[in-house]
């Protein structure tokens, strides 16, 4: 995944294969084999955290002590069927 406007050393990191996908409107949240979560908005990579927070809040899920992207993603994806 790459983020526009960042130095080359900062833009690429290995997150593993996509193992699960959830789409809400133009936002696609991807869960990777490494436990990382990434977002595509209209096909462009964006930070997943704000979208995961909005999804958590919309589902009425509680805030956690650590609202990292991984913990938010795990919480949201665990509650997708509810």
Mean pLDDT along residues 49-70: 91
Cα angle 54-6-34, degrees, rounded to a multiple of 5: 55
Q: Map out the domains of the chain as residue ranges.
A: 19-59
Supply the pTM of this predicted model.
Answer: 0.78
pLDDT tens digits for 20-41?
999 999 999 999 998 899 999 9
Mean pLDDT along residues 45-62: 93
- pLDDT at residue 6 tops 80: no
pLDDT of residue 12: 55
pLDDT tens digits for 12-23?
567 888 999 999
CA-based nearest residue to 40, from 28, 24, 53: 28
């Amino acid at each position: 995944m790459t983020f526009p406007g960042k130095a080359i050393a900062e833009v690429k990191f290995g997150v593993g294969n996509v193992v699960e996908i959830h789409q809400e409107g133009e936002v696609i949240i991807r869960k990777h084999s490494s436990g990382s979560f990434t977002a595509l908005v209209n096909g462009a990579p964006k930070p997943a955290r704000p979208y995961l927070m909005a999804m958590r809040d919309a589902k009425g899920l509680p805030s956690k002590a650590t609202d990292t992207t991984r913990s938010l993603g795990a919480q949201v994806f665990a509650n997708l069927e509810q």
